[in-house]
Structures are given as structure tokens and as C-alpha cells.
Structure 1
Amino acid sequence: MSVVFERPSLWQRVRPVFSSFDVPLTLGLLILAAFGLVTMYSAGYDHGTRFVDHGRNMMIALAILFVVAQVPPQRLMALAVPLYVVGVTLLVATMIFGITKKGATRWLHVGVVIQPSEIMKLAMPLMLAWWFQKREGQLRPLDFAVAGLLLLVPVALVAKQPDLGTSILILSAGLYVIFFAGLSWRLILPVVLVALIGAVALVLSEDQICQADVKWPLLREYQKTRVCTLLDPTKDPLGKGFHIIQGMIAIGSGGWTGKGFMNGTQTHLEFIPERTTDFIFAAFAEEFGLVGVLGLIAAFTFVLLRGLMIAAEAPTVFSRLLAGAITLSFFTYAMVNMGMVSGILPVVGIPLPFISYGGTAMVTLGLALGMLMSIAKSRRLMQS
């Protein structure tokens, strides 16, 4: 008796590959990508090929996301230590042999010019998630101290370049892992209270401590200037305060529903500096108003909640910590960018995910979200 085997259809053969995409998370990311393309078309309309390049960068990030999503979390875990060691080594090499531009030594020539600090945005949460996975079930205060040391080394090297924005992002990514690993609130709350007291004292004594002859410990002069400009941008409206003032004018002029697509006067008359990169949120708010801003925040919040759900359901300590750190880091990018453009936070070079122009940031985004997709896929495989 002959046995007839039914040949699988094309969809049946490719379906396991596309199963790596978490549907709710993919939907949220596609909505953000649509926001980004629409905003870039307007903000970059008379800015060369920014719109086309932005679309190309998105496609590259999507391809990277797709490839990384096929990699099991166990293999990602195996990359943690080598990637961290390579990243720290490159940061040390940058400090010694790096390329200096505009007073900052952030780049290294290794056949091509790279920025090693970008590597640490991913290597840091990977390394700390690996460390706490190895210490599962036997965590002691010393283990958190070691994690803190692993975090502070690259943060100090990046801050020395100087690159305050990137060092803050690396620090926050590492702190998220340590927090999810079970750091006691008794250690967290005193730090938060000291920070709040310091912020209040800074505001109240702004006139005294922002004088030119007053030096701030641990901060360079330009970093002090950024903080003081945030407190009162009108002191230098055509200089250091210009970015913040124009951003706030653009956001405020958008009103409830905005001036309409392609009708932003602050944007198209080029009052908004860096309108396709760091300050693109001001261009978006001017044209789409409060309604559009709330929609954008809702999209970021949806991705945040879905990412935290993936982290909560992750099958291992490593994947849970990594997913939580990636998700909160993604949200931190968005909130810090919106905060600095709105005049709530100091101006630092942090892009708005999927909205701001930038190839390197988009590639890093694709890698991080690919890891998150990989963790979501591993959870589904274990449940099936």
C-alpha cells in the first residue's frame, strides 16, 4: 500500500519564520513608524533626502529586527560577556586613540569610524541580565555591588568623552536591570529623595549657583550651562536658550488640533533648530497639536505596556530582566526627548524613537526590539 504525503503549502513553510513577530508589539511599532514617516515628510520636506533616507533606515532596522528575533535568548545570553568586554575595550581605546570633534572624543577609527558607546546601550543590559541569571536563587548584597561596578565602569568612560546623554541612557538601562532583579526600595527611596531635594535646591538657588565664577563638581562647564539654560532660557534667548524657546513656541502654537500637516510655520520657516533630529517632536506638536501628541504618547505607552507584559511572562531570569530593561529604555528615550524639547529637562542628544532622523539610532533600535521579539517568541514556544 502506497503512502501519500501532502506537500506543505508555501504559507505553511514560511509561517514559523513570521511567528517570531509578536502581533500587539508589531502593531504598536508600525503605528510609531507611520507617525515617524508622516512627521519626517513635513519636517524634512526642504531638507534634502531626509524622508527617503528615514524610510530606508526604517527598513534596515526592520530587517535587523527580523534577523535578531530568530536568535533564541540562550544565544543572546552567550553573547553578553564577549560584547561587554569588547565594548569596554573599545571605550578605553577611544579614550586613548579616539577621534576628537567639537571638544568630544567619542569616535574610533577601526577601518571605519564607529562610536563604541552605542555598543554599550545593548551590552550593558545583556551583561547585567547574564550576571543576575548566574546568581539566581542566591542573591546577596555583594552581587548588587558587583552589578553596580559593572555598570559604573562604562558609564564613567562615556561620561569622560564627554557624552552626558549616552551615559545617562547606559546608566538607566543598567539601573532598570538591577531594579527588576530585586533591589530593595530601602536603597532606592533615599536616592530618589536626595535627587528631589537637590532639584528643588537647584531651582531655588539658581541665581547664585549659575553665576559664571561658580564651578559645579563632576560636571563640565557646558553641562552646567545646559542646566542653567533650562532654568531660565530667556537669559540668552538668541544663544544657549534659543533651542528651548523655539521648541516651546512651536509646541504652544499647535494648540488643540495643530496647524495642519505641512502648515507648521515655526518648522518651515526654520525657527526650530535640528527639526528633523533632536527637536522633531516640536515640529510634530506644531502641526498636529495636543490631540496628535496624546496619540503619540498613547502609542509609546502601548509599546511600553506590551513590552512589560512580555517581560512579566518571560521564561527565565535573563529574558525577564533583559525584556524589562529594553522596554523601559525605549520609553526613556521617548520621555527624555519630549521633556527636553518641552523645556522640562536639559537639552541632551537623545532621539525620539522611530520619529527622529538617524541611522545609528535606528540600527540600535532594531537590535533591541529584535531581542524583545525573540523573548516573546521563546515564551510562546514554551507554552505550545
Structure 2
Amino acid sequence: MNFDPVAWIRRLFAPIDPWLFGILTATLAGAFVVMMSASPERFQSHCMNILVGLTVLWVTAHMRPQNLYNLALPLYVVGVLLLVAVALVGESSKGAQRWLNLGVARIQPSELMKIAMPLMLAWYFQKREGSLKWRDFVVATALLAVPVGLIAKQPDLGTALLVLGAGIFVIFFAGLSWKLIVPVTLIGVAGVVGIIMYQTQICQPDVKWPGMKEYQKHRVCTLLDPSSDPLGKGFHTIQSTIAVGSGGVFGKGWREGTQAHLDFLPERHTDFILAVLSEEFGLIGVIVLTILYGMLIARGLAIAANAPNLFGRLLAGAITMTFFCYAFVNMGMVSGILPVVGVPLPFVSYGGTALVTLCLGVGVLMSVRRYRLRTAGGA
């Protein structure tokens, strides 16, 4: 039997969706440019993180959705057990207990739940397909509440919100009634309005917020009025909004950003890298990035809509909307319209764990898309 290298290469890259990969490549290329300006000393390790992420993407894309289905329950159980271990013996850093030391490496189990949570709920609703009742949504909410509560307790509000969002999207796509969604949304909006109306009272130092730590209260209060603590809790918001606004339409030019390079802008290579992009490439650069995110989300939703079964639709839809949550929350906190919660800019911010998790999500989308093509008789 003769070896055909062309056929071998085609089989090797058959699961790779050209649209998703093209969008991801363009985003990562832009991230290269911004990272070289924001933190040149981390550029090499950022490249290594990208290589690891792309490897994980390729491996995941080759997996059948049935294999992902079989992994859902054990992955969820392992994730919850690791979160419990973090609560008991985890390592603390910067006032938060989020890491678990395994000897050979330190891991952040909360990142695993960004994928394990939608996997688990998609698995559960696939099991219950055809006989869904209101109590199934109660069970799904309980499954979601356990890891979200453990992550919030670390505390890691940003990751807790992303895991919560991923789970809520699965529950919504599974058929949760608008009669339940609308009242909860209205209550949330009313709560935000109430906070704004009474910020002068609730932001006093002697006022305690039930269920929230003091630093979380400060984040909300400085969002409402950053100038109340310009050199403390409000510093991040003030400096990032200055950087975003100073870039104008076309930006100051690559490596010409004063806020970043004069060290006014904190965390410029991670959570606030969008401020670097805005200052150096202006509104045009932000629009290009937003278009890339829009194309990524549109392609992901198209894959979800064409998935061959409920599991694939729920999983692909939830992962795609998680990308939206990443981008929306990060852009919101950098521009000063949302509290600073430590959510990275997807595929752009420095950080190996988050990047690998995001690439894993893209790999899952490619796996769902490939399975759909095979069942339809395609390549």
C-alpha cells in the first residue's frame, strides 16, 4: 500500500473548520502585535501558551462528540472534587485561595469548570430529552450552583460569573420558559437601579453588604464613582478609561501609548490589554477586534444550530456564548461600565490557563461541526 502524504495531511487537518481557524488566527496575530508592545518580556512565553492551546484545540477537534458526552459526568465530578480540595488545602495568592499544588505543577481547577459545566448540563438534558419537566431545570440549577458557589468562595468572582453564564446558557437553550427568565431579569435590573439611587448611602465605610466581601463592595462603589478612591480601588478604572479615550480614532501608534509605557496602566498584559490596544490603535483597532469576535460568535452559533442532536446544540451554543461573555465583561470593565472582576480578553490577554481553556472550547465546536458533516455524508 503506497503512502499518500497529501491524503495523510488532509486526514490530519480534516476536523479543522477553516472559518473558525481563520478567525482565530487573525485574532492571535493581532494579539502578537499588542503583546509585543504591552509586555515584550512575556512575548516568548505567550507564544508557548498559544502553541499549547492550538495543540489542545487540534486534539479536541479530533474527538467525537460521543467521547465528550462520555467524559461529561467524570469531568464534572473531578472538577468539583478539585474545587473542594482548593477550599481545604489550596494555595493562596493576592488574598485569594484559587490554586492547587500537585507537586509537578500548580493548577486552577475553576478554569476546568468553564468547559466541564456546560458539558455536564448538556449531558443531563440529553439524558432527559423528550421527558423534560420543571424539576429537571431545578436539578440543573443545583448542579450549576455547587461549582459556582465554591468558585465564588475562593473568591474569584470573574470566573464564577463565566461558569454561571455557561450554565445559564445551557439551561436557556434547553427550553427554560420566558415566564421565569423575565421576572429574574427585572429583579436584577431593579437591583442595579436601586444601587445607583442609593450609592451615597450604601458605599459608606461602615455599611456592610450581605454576602459580599469588602473588596467586592469597593469594586462596585468605585465603578459608580471611581474618583472616590482615585489612588486605590478606582485607579484601574481611571487609568484604563484615560488610555481608551486618548487613543482617539486612529490611535497613537504601536508602542507609542503613554499610559502603558509610563506604567500608569496596571495589568496591561492581562486584564487591561484592551486599553493598550485602544491607546495605540484607536477606535479602528477596537472595531476590527469586535468584528472578529462577532464572526467567531456567529460561526459558533451556526455550528450549534446545525448540530445533529440536543447535546451538540446545547454544548456548542453555551461555549459560543461563553466567548461572548468573556469579551463583553472584559470590554465593559476596561471602558468603565462594569466592575473590575478579573476576566481576560479572549485570545488576546496573557495567561496560559485561560488561553488553553478557550482553545479547548474552539476545539469542541470543531468536533461538533465535523460530526454533523459526517452524519450528513460529508467529509
**TM-score if structure 1 supplies the norm length?**
0.96
Q: Does 1:25 align with 2:29?
A: no
Pick from 282, 285, 293 the counterpart of residue 300 of structure 1. 293
Q: Which of residues 69, 84, 96 in structure 1 aligns to 2:76?
A: 84
Equivalent residue for 1:127?
120
Q: Which runs of 5+ in 2 are unaligned?
A: none
The runs of at least 4 consecutive aligned structure 1 residues that moved more than 6 Å come to none
Which residue of structure 1 aligns with residue 207 of structure 2?
Answer: 214
Q: Residue by residue, what CA displacement relative to the aligned partner does 1:113-156 show, whole Å, maximum 9, x if unpaired?
A: 22111111111000000000000111000100000000001111
Which residue pairs with 1:198 in the alignment? 191
Q: Secondary structure at the match of 1:259?
A: coil
Partner of 1:355: 348
Aligned residue in 1 for 2:90 = 98
Amino acid at match of 2:158: G
Identity within the alignment, %: 58
2:33 aligned to 21, 34, 38, which one?
Answer: 38
Q: CA RMSD in A?
A: 1.1
Q: CA deviation at 1:8?
A: 5.9
Structure 1: state its 5+ residue gaps: none
Q: 1:175-195: per-residue Cα shift (whole Å, max 9, x none)?
A: 010011010111001111111
The code of the aligned residue for 1:44 comes to S
The question of 1:66 aligning with 2:61 is answered no
Q: CA offset at residue 97 of structure 1?
A: 1.7
Counterpart code for 1:228: C
Determine helix, strand or coil for the equivalent of 1:305.
helix
> Distance in 1 between the 2:44 and 2:98 partners?
28
Rounded Cα–Cα distance in structure 1 between residues aligned with 2:15 and 2:354 = 23
Deviations 1:76-120 (Å, cap 9, x if unpaired)?
000000011111111112111222233322122222322111111
Deviation at 1:289, TM superposition (A): 0.7
Q: For 1:379, which of 351, 372, 377 is the aligned residue?
A: 372
Q: CA deviation at 1:381?
A: 1.1
Letter in 1 for 2:88: I
Q: How does 1:238-249 map to 2 (within 5 A)?
A: 238-249=231-242
Q: 1:166 aligns with which of 155, 159, 167?
A: 159
Is the aligned partner of 1:342 residue 2:306? Answer: no
1:147-176 CA-partner distances (Å, limit 9, x unpaired)? 000000111111111111111111001001
CA deviation after TM superposition for structure 1 residue 318, in Å: 0.6
Distance 2:36 2:101 in 1: 33
What is the one-letter code of the residue matched to 2:196? V
TM-score (norm. length: structure 2): 0.97
Cα distance, 1:383 vs. partner?
1.5
Matched, 1:309 2:302: yes
Distance in 2 between residues matched to 1:271 and 1:358, nearest whole Å: 21
Residue 222 of structure 2 aligns with which residue? 229
Q: Does 1:52 align with 2:52?
A: no
Aligned length: 376
- Indicate the residue corresponding to 1:321 in structure 2: 314
Alignment-derived partner of residue 111 in structure 2: 118
CA distance in 1, matches of 2:106, 2:39: 26
Cα distance between partner residues in 2 of 1:64 and 1:109: 22
Deviation at 1:234, TM superposition (A): 0.5
